Structure 1
Amino acid sequence: MKNTIMGLLIVALSLFSVVRATSLYEVGDSNGWTTTVGLDYYKTWSSSKTFYVGDVLIFQYNKTFHNVMEVSFQDFESCNPNSPLTTYHSQYEPVILNRTGHYYFICGLPGHCESGQKLDVLVMPASLENTTPIIQPNNASSSNPSPKPLEDPLEVLPVDDATIATLPYNAGSSLCVWSGLSMLSSVLLQALVFL
């Protein structure tokens, strides 16, 4: 019984350090998903960021003029829209990055991919070593480097109310989650003391 409670205590305490916020990226920042930004815009945009498993891409576009297709590397390179892995048609398309490796996206309308409406995203595994701030710069350009990962994940960064309002919901930041984990740890410690 003592080993079981000690194991549960270790699991509960480890949950405190495992919580990692999901980052939400608006593809193309304020430009969105379009053909009007140039040939290398999305390449520059994605290379200035580090993506992790669990992060979310948001494609915003006019569905009358564009779409989003996830394609293979070969179809990405040749701008071939004929055998997409997935096709999206809404004006506000969230795509969850749920695996490591490259994701390849193109607009499948004629000439759009060839004019630069294509995106290659490399996704890294989520881990404690790869913790990044959840605030991603909006309206970023190639002259603004992306923020560096935090050295100390407990570092408190000053933010204003407008920034806080833009943050995605993270269950790990919920007072209920932290209160529940604190109570569980307390109960397990008390049980351990009485054994």
Structure 2
Amino acid sequence: MENFRKIVLWLIAVMMGTFLVECRDSVLHRVGGGRYSWAPHINFAEWSSHEQFYVGDWLYFGFDKHIYDVLEVNKTSYENCIDKNFIKNITQGGRDVFNLSNAKPYYFLSGRGHCSKGMKVAVYVRDYAAPPLGVAPFLVYNGFASTTNSRLIQLVMLATALAWAFL
């Protein structure tokens, strides 16, 4: 019985460690702020300056694929609106998503002369750092609640394990 209680206490410690770790759900950022906003004459620099991008987030580009495209480019191509030798063409159907998988700057533009009309955006992606302990566990990031449901489940499991171990 003593070994059983040790195992239960070990499981409780593991669960508590998991409970204390802050998580963050991925966020879908609608580039430009709207459903079909990958278009000329939108201030993408202004839009991106009000967003926080973290590894694992997604960008959504909504546009007419017959007129525009979305190319991932390097910094020089971004600055000079060069649509040749791009890194990746992410254009699929005009409602395209792109995963921000690394902490680094990403640069996108639309070719066919649209970059010079302002159709380019730079996003600066960071690794997520949990807030210090002592901050409320149910925080909101970019308007999305953190994983409150999984935390509630963990708390219920912890309480059940404690009650079961000491009865």
- TM class, shorter-length: 0.7 to 0.9
C-alpha distance in structure 2 between counterparts of 1:19 and 1:184, whole Å: 18
Indicate how the Cα distance of structure 1 residues 11 and 96 shifts in structure 2: closer, same or farther if over 3 A, else same: farther
* Amino acid paired to 1:29: G
CA contact (8 A) 1:24 1:168 kept: no
Tell me which structure has the larger Cα radius of gyration. Answer: 2
C-alpha distance in structure 1 between counterparts of 2:11 and 2:81, whole Å: 52
CA contact (8 A) 1:97 1:123 kept: yes
* Amino acid paired to 1:75: S
User: Which residue matches 1:62?
Assistant: 64
CA contact (8 A) 1:70 1:84 kept: yes
C-alpha distance in structure 2 between counterparts of 1:94 and 1:51, whole Å: 14
* Amino acid paired to 1:154: F
C-alpha distance in structure 1 between counterparts of 2:49 and 2:55, whole Å: 16
Equivalences, count: 157
Uncovered stretches (5+) of structure 1, i.e. residues with no partner: 131-150, 157-166
CA contact (8 A) 1:54 1:126 kept: no
The equivalent position to 1:119 in structure 2, one of 114, 118, 121, is 121
C-alpha distance in structure 2 between counterparts of 1:58 and 1:112, whole Å: 18
Greater mean alpha carbon deviation, residues 97-106 or residues 80-89: 80-89
**Secondary structure at 2:131 match in 1:** helix
User: Which residue matches 2:39?
Assistant: 34
1:20 is the counterpart of 2:4: no
CA contact (8 A) 2:19 2:155 kept: no
* Amino acid paired to 2:14: V
C-alpha distance in structure 2 between counterparts of 1:107 and 1:85, whole Å: 13
**Secondary structure at 1:28 match in 2:** helix
C-alpha distance in structure 2 between counterparts of 1:67 and 1:113, whole Å: 10
1:128 is the counterpart of 2:130: yes
* Amino acid paired to 1:21: D
TM-score, normalised to structure 2, is: 0.75
1:87 is the counterpart of 2:71: no
Q: Shift in Å at residue 178 of structure 1?
A: 4.5
C-alpha distance in structure 2 between counterparts of 1:19 and 1:154, whole Å: 10
1:51 is the counterpart of 2:53: yes
**Secondary structure at 2:102 match in 1:** coil
C-alpha distance in structure 2 between counterparts of 1:93 and 1:169, whole Å: 24
Uncovered stretches (5+) of structure 2, i.e. residues with no partner: none
**Aligned Cα RMSD in Å?**
3.1
TM-score, normalised to structure 1, is: 0.65
Q: Deviations over 1:72-93 (max 9, x none)?
A: 1122122222222221222111
C-alpha distance in structure 2 between counterparts of 1:3 and 1:66, whole Å: 62
User: Which residue matches 2:158?
Assistant: 185
Greater mean alpha carbon deviation, residues 4-13 or residues 70-79: 4-13
C-alpha distance in structure 1 between counterparts of 2:9 and 2:79, whole Å: 53
The equivalent position to 2:110 in structure 1, one of 104, 107, 110, is 107
C-alpha distance in structure 2 between counterparts of 1:152 and 1:182, whole Å: 15
CA contact (8 A) 2:139 2:145 kept: no
